[in-house]
Structure 1
Amino acid sequence: MDQVKVLIRDGALTPGDRLPSERELCQRFGVSRVTVREALRILEASGLVTIRVGAHGGAFLTAPSTDRVGEGLADLLTMSALTAGEVTETRKIVELGALPLIVERATDDDIDALFKLAEEGQAAVDEDAYTVDISARFHIRLAECAHNTALAMLIQSFHGPMLMSLREAREHAPAMGKRGTDEHRRLAEAIRERDLAAAQHVMSEHIARTAQRVSHGAEQD
């Protein structure tokens, strides 16, 4: 399995290529069919190969999807002993760093989606039904506006830890939501106007407030 991954990494195998037959793999790597089949099963589960049956079947290399890679990263992050403070610090670095790309690359559809999410958030606040998941969805969609696959994977994988940090912040500020949704709208406006300085100012205040809340909770602990 590791040797197949090396071939993929070195460019010797590319998406769409058919891997050698089980017999050939056994001979090449000096292992049994049981070992080859187990390796193929793991590669298939990880999204690196697709197994097809029939006369033209076999193991074919595929490109892992954003969702598949994001899920793998999410599992690693979820199982790690992350603190809300660490998550918020990382968000500050990543989300502020992404803003130049977002302001430059966001399409009209992206901006419309941001305004729609901000409106949904405001409606939830008005109905006293605001949840931290609404905030997380806005930030994930915001990252997608950069049109950078690596960034989208990273932010998507951060969904669970982000929710954890937001929930902790909410414990120390139960009424949170109103100001946050207003800042979401202001972010959308700044991106629509291609105003990077304004977007950075809003984002800095937005995340700094969460950082202050989780820090306050840690001090109390």
Structure 2
Amino acid sequence: MEDRKGSTVVVNKVLAPKPYDLLADQLREAILGGDISEGDALPTERELVEQTGLTRGSVREALKLLASEGLVQTRPGRFGGNIVTLPGKVEIANSLSRYVRGRRLPLRTIHETRDVLEPALARLAAVHRTAKDLETMAHLHQQLIDSVGDFQKFSRTNLRWHTAVAHASGNEMLVAALEAIAYGVAVSTTIDEYDTPETRQQVIRIHAEVMAAIEAGDGQLAERRMRQHISATHARVSDVEADVPMSDDE
């Protein structure tokens, strides 16, 4: 009779998912898949407990998880409840901003991002801009001219102008990417190397050229002029090596 040897197979520890994760997964898929529409109310906590057999604590954790992802908003009152929402530009921008802040990205990274992003935004703006977009850019451009003697105000207006060009592109994902690094952009254009009357006049001139290309609907020209603008900006501060804070609370 043969002796049976013990098995040498190693079985890994089985990690079962938490109940609230399973419920959150199910609700998330229903929301993103369109089975539950934005603005609809989810079943109440009591109804979810009855339907799933989970504890109220697990149901609440699932709802908290979805709320942190921007998929559910709790509204108080008689006609409130857990209302389905969909992530928007603000949520995307906040998520990207947390990434760049947490990583303490250097100024060089901000420059490289702008080198890729802003010329493309200008090109798209030339294609998709509306009369309102053109009016907004022109208004901010005049404010830029009026604030040429006030460097801090000039820098804030400059950032708002670049953001207006981004919005004119009609691409919310790219707008969110620019807004995520907006404070870093502001910091990079308020250092001493950027603070000269000559530089401000150059900015005003190239902004006017970019706007003219956008208004004419010439995407290639708008892209080329914005690339020249961003490259010139970065050349002025190329010797600066610093970590750029991503919000004014740092």
Q: Shorter-chain TM-score: what band?
A: 0.7 to 0.9
Q: How many residues align?
A: 217
Larger Rg: 2
CA shift, 1:22, in A, is 1.6
Deviations 1:150-194 (A, max 9, x none): 222222222122223323xx3323213221122112211111122
1:106 is aligned to 2:129 = yes
* TM-score normalised by structure 2 residue count: 0.75
Show the 5 A alignment for 1:39-78.
Answer: 39-44=62-67, 46-53=69-76, 57-78=80-101
Q: Call closer, same or farther: CA 1:164–1:36 in 2, change over 3 Å.
A: farther
In 2, distance between residues paired with 1:16 and 1:173? Answer: 47
1:172 aligned residue: 193
SS at match of 1:12: coil
Query: What CA distance in whole angstroms lies between the structure 1 residues aligned with 2:152 and 2:189?
Result: 15
Report SS of the residue matched to 1:51. Answer: strand
Which position in structure 2 is the counterpart of 1:186?
209
**Equivalent residue number for residue 202 of structure 1:** 225
Structure with the larger helix share? 1
TM-score (norm 1): 0.83
After TM superposition, the structure 1 stretch with the greater mean CA deviation from structure 2, 195-204 or 96-105, is 195-204
Q: Which of 48, 52, 56 is the matching residue for 1:25?
A: 48
* Greater CA drift, 156-165 or 128-137: 128-137
Given that residues 45 and 59 in structure 2 are in contact (C-alpha distance below 8 angstroms), is that contact kept between their aligned partners in structure 1? yes
1:50 partner SS: strand
Q: Which residue of the partner structure matches residue 172 of structure 2?
A: 149
Provide the alpha-carbon RMSD of the alignment: 2.6
Question: Structure 2 counterpart of 1:107, which letter?
Answer: T
Residues 179-219 of structure 1 show CA distances to partners (whole Å, capped at 9, x for unaligned) of 11221122111111222333223212111022223322239
Percent identity of paired positions between Structure 1 and Structure 2: 26
d(CA) in 1 for partners of 2:51, 2:189: 51
Higher alpha-carbon deviation: 58-67 or 22-31: 22-31
Superposed, 1:69-148 pairs within 5 Å as: 69-127=92-150, 130-148=153-171
Which residue identity does 2:201 align to in structure 1? Answer: K
Assess, with a 3 A threshold, how the Cα gap between structure 1 residues 9 and 185 changes in structure 2: closer, same or farther.
same
Amino acid at match of 1:89: E
8 A Cα contact 2:124 2:219, kept in partner: no
| SS across alignment from 1:60 | strand
For the structure 1 residues 6 and 80, does the alpha-carbon distance in structure 2 shift closer, same or farther, using more than 3 Å as the test?
A: farther
Give the residue type in structure 2 aligned to 1:152. V
* Distance in 2 of aligned mates of 1:82 and 1:110: 31
Counterpart residue number, 2:13: none
